[in-house]
Chain A
Amino acid sequence: MGQMIKVGMADLKVCKAPDNLTTIGLGSCIGIALYDPSTKITGLAHIMLPDSTAIRNNSHIAKFADTGIQKLFDDMIKAGANKARIVAKIAGGAKMFELAGGNATAINVGERNAIASKAKLKQLGIKLLAEDTGLNYGRTVEIYSEDGSFLIKSVGKPEKKI
């Protein structure tokens, strides 16, 4: 058994089998797992916001879906992953509070994160194999380099493997 390596908020990491990656407590953020089954090179990003171009203060690459996924993809290739074989699974993007009115933009950021992540994956030609996004609860995810399985844990709910 390899190590379970932790990826923080606005953070991304790449590992090789037998190591695995996890990120804890995704709320409105999205966890994007990339996996190359031929080399078992695995990557995980924990992004917070959809679009780096919409914000002035955007030097932090791993904070945004567009720049974060790009960097994760580049790092995977650098680590030896086969570009054409990389597939993706994503989770998170919840709406933690049902706040209405003027705060809607901030609150719907989960949904916008999911849309932006999928758009970036599509742009890079990465196939999205599975997703578990939206709803109103937090998720802890683990991506296993052995078979690319993506485990999702939530409070008071059975574990889910996608």
Chain B
Amino acid sequence: MSEMSFDEINEKYFDVLKEIGNIGAGNATTAIANMLNLRMDMSVPNVELMEVESIGTAIGSEEQIVVGIMLGVETDINGSMMYLMDIPSAHHLVNRLMMRDPEYNEDFDEMDLSALKEIGNIISSAYLSALSGLTKLTITPTVPYISIDMAAAILSVPAIQFGMVGDKALLINTKIGDDMGINGYFILMPEGDSYEKILVSLGLPV
């Protein structure tokens, strides 16, 4: 068992975790581009290790309303992951999926929410399947849940999750461009010894 704290692991293997983030986000982008038939260029994701207390402002103002999609991660590793995007990005994706006028921006109805969950599901699954491919671990996502609320309130969930084991959280920001940029964030929240499992399966000493 590891003698290193969660924060020490994060710092020591930052580059590895960053690379996992890159590959996962790349996979997720391809999945979403295929589904919506978009030509998507993805910028290199920005991976940040930040203080738990400042995570509320990680993606803009604390009161900015964002869409958060969260799902559990099971089997060989345990935990959860979250995909966050701003409201214009969410409208853009739903409008593409529903083949609606791109300018449509009424409040999300039940259908829209369900579409967003599905988008979140596809993005997260693609991300996890990249992680699974790299580590040869079986990683199964659970049914996704959605929340549209203040960024700080949604981000309190990963903040608390990371806060239980340390003072730092790992956040991956991807900007997916087609004609309109889609600004999204991934947060993977491994529980217990799942972080070690990921690193060990990549052949790293923990």
* Chain A residues engaging chain B, CB cutoff 8 angstroms: 8-11, 24-29, 48-49, 55, 57, 60, 63, 94, 96-103, 106-107, 109, 136-140, 155
Contact = CB atoms under 8 A, between A and B. Distances in A.
A34 B12 CA distance: 41
B74 A102 contact: yes
A63 B153 contact: no
Q: Which 8 A-B pairs have the closest CB atoms?
A: A138-B153, A25-B152, A27-B156, A27-B153, A25-B150, A24-B62, A138-B150, A97-B145
B206 interface: no
Contacts of B54: 8-9
B154 interface: yes
A93 B146 CA distance: 18
Given A24-B63, A24-B152, A25-B151, A57 B72 contact: no
B191 to A, nearest CB: 7
A158 B54 CA distance: 28
Nearest to B107: A156
A101 B56 contact: no
28 contacts: A9-B52, A9-B156, A24-B63, A25-B150, A25-B156, A26-B156, A27-B149, A28-B156, A28-B160, A48-B159, A48-B163, A49-B163, A49-B164, A57-B6, A60-B167, A96-B68, A96-B154, A96-B157, A99-B145, A101-B142, A102-B72, A102-B74, A106-B160, A137-B149, A137-B153, A139-B153, A140-B63, A155-B149
A55 B165 CA distance: 7
Contact of A97 (B6, B62, B147): B147
A97 to B, nearest CB: 4
Given A10-B53, A99-B80, 7 more contacts: A24-B62, A97-B70, A100-B142, A102-B72, A103-B80, A106-B80, A138-B156
B33 interface: no
Contacts of A24: 56, 62-63, 150, 152
A94 B152 CA distance: 12
B5 interface: yes
Contacts of B70: 96-97, 99
Interface of B: 5-7, 52-56, 62-63, 65, 68, 70-72, 74, 78-80, 142-143, 145-157, 159-161, 163-167, 189, 191
Nearest to A109: B160
A8 B161 contact: no
Contact of A11 (B53, B160, B189): B53
- Counting chain A CB atoms within 10 Å of each CB, the highest count among B62, B68, B78, B152 belongs to B152
B167 to A, nearest CB: 7
B191 A27 contact: no
B161 to A, nearest CB: 5
A94 to B, nearest CB: 7
Contacts of A109: 160
A28 B55 CA distance: 14
Nearest to B142: A101
Contacts of A11: 53
A16 B150 CA distance: 28
Contact of B147 (A48, A100, A136, A140): A136
B166 A106 contact: no
A103 B72 contact: yes
Contacts of A8: 53-54, 56
Given A48-B159, A48-B160, A101-B72, A155 B53 contact: no
